[in-house]
Structure 1
Amino acid sequence: MNTFTAEHTPASIVKTFPQASDLFKKHTIDFCCGGDKPLKESFKDQNLPEEEILTELNTAYKEWKKEDHDIIDWDAVPLSKLVDHITNTHHAYLEQELPALGEFVTKIFRVHGARHPHLKELHRLYNEFKVEMEEHTIKEDNEVFPLIKEYEKNPSDELLQKIRVANGDLEDEHDATGDLIKQMRSITNGFEIPVDACGSYRMTYARLAELEENTFQHIHLENNILFKRL
Structure 2
Amino acid sequence: MEINENTIVGQLVAADYRTADVFRQHGIDFCCKGNKPIGDVCREKKLDITPILHALEEISAVPACTLQNFNTMPLDQLADHIVRKHHGYVREKIPVLQQYLRKVCQVHGEPHQELWQIAALFTASSAELSNHLNKEELILFPRIREIARKQAAGEFLEEHGISAVEKPISAMMEEHDHEGDRFRRMADLSNNFTPPEDACNTYRVTYALLKEFQDDLHQHIHLENNILFPRAISTEKALTGSSCRL
Q: Which residue of 2 aligns with 1:16?
A: 15
Q: Quote the Cα distance in structure 2 between the aligned partners of 1:32 and 1:169.
A: 15
Partners of 1:147 and 1:159 within 8 A in 2: no
Change (3 A) 1:107 1:146: same
Which SS does the other structure have where 1:19 is aligned? helix
Change (3 A) 1:69 1:207: farther
TM-score in terms of structure 1 length:
0.92
Q: Quote the Cα distance in structure 2 between the aligned partners of 1:195 and 1:160.
A: 56
Q: Quote the Cα distance in structure 2 between the aligned partners of 1:13 and 1:157.
A: 33
Say whether residues 1:191 and 2:193 are aligned partners: yes
Partners of 2:32 and 2:176 within 8 A in 1: yes
Q: Structure 1 residues 50-59 or 82-91, which shifts more?
A: 50-59
Matched residue pairs, number? 226
What residue identity is the alignment partner of 2:67? I
Q: Structure 1 residues 192-201 or 16-25, which shifts more?
A: 16-25
> 1:153 Cα shift?
2.6
Q: Which residue of 2 aligns with 1:40?
A: 39
What residue identity is the alignment partner of 2:4? T
Q: Which residue of 2 aligns with 1:125?
A: 121
> 1:159 Cα shift?
8.6
Q: Quote the Cα distance in structure 2 between the aligned partners of 1:43 and 1:128.
A: 31
Q: Which residue of 1 aligns with 2:70?
A: 74
Q: Which residue of 1 aligns with 2:243?
A: none
Q: Which residue of 2 aligns with 1:98?
A: 94
Which of 211, 214, 224 aligns to 2:216? It is 214
Partners of 2:14 and 2:223 within 8 A in 1: no
Q: What percentage of residue pairs aligned between the two structures are identical?
A: 32
Say whether residues 1:205 and 2:201 are aligned partners: no
> 1:180 Cα shift?
0.8
Q: Quote the Cα distance in structure 2 between the aligned partners of 1:172 and 1:123.
A: 23
Q: Which residue of 2 aligns with 1:57?
A: 56
Query: Alpha-carbon deviations, 1:139-178, whole Å to 9, x = none?
Result: 1111111111122234234297121111000000000011
> 1:41 Cα shift?
1.4
Say whether residues 1:88 and 2:88 are aligned partners: no
Partners of 1:43 and 1:50 within 8 A in 2: yes
Q: Quote the Cα distance in structure 2 between the aligned partners of 1:21 and 1:123.
A: 27
Say whether residues 1:139 and 2:138 are aligned partners: no
Please, which runs of 5 or more residues in structure 2 have no aligned partner?
Answer: 151-156, 234-246
> 1:56 Cα shift?
2.6
Query: Alpha-carbon deviations, 1:16-71, whole Å to 9, x = none?
Result: 33222122112111100111111111111111111122123223443xx16x5411
Q: Quote the Cα distance in structure 1 between the aligned partners of 2:49 and 2:107.
A: 42
Q: Which residue of 1 aligns with 2:30?
A: 31
Please, which runs of 5 or more residues in structure 1 have no aligned partner?
Answer: none
Q: Which residue of 2 aligns with 1:174?
A: 176
Q: Which residue of 2 aligns with 1:225?
A: 227
Larger radius of gyration: 2
Which SS does the other structure have where 1:34 is aligned? coil
The CA RMSD measured in Å over matched residues stands at: 1.7
TM-score in terms of structure 2 length:
0.87
Q: Structure 1 residues 148-157 or 112-121, which shifts more?
A: 148-157
Q: Which residue of 1 aligns with 2:109?
A: 113
> 1:3 Cα shift?
4.2
Which SS does the other structure have where 1:158 is aligned? coil
What residue identity is the alignment partner of 1:10? V
What residue identity is the alignment partner of 1:6? E
Query: Alpha-carbon deviations, 1:157-216, whole Å to 9, x = none?
Result: 429712111100000000001111111111111111211111111111111111011000
What residue identity is the alignment partner of 1:47? K
Q: Quote the Cα distance in structure 1 between the aligned partners of 2:5 and 2:46.
A: 13
Q: Quote the Cα distance in structure 2 between the aligned partners of 1:188 and 1:84.
A: 33
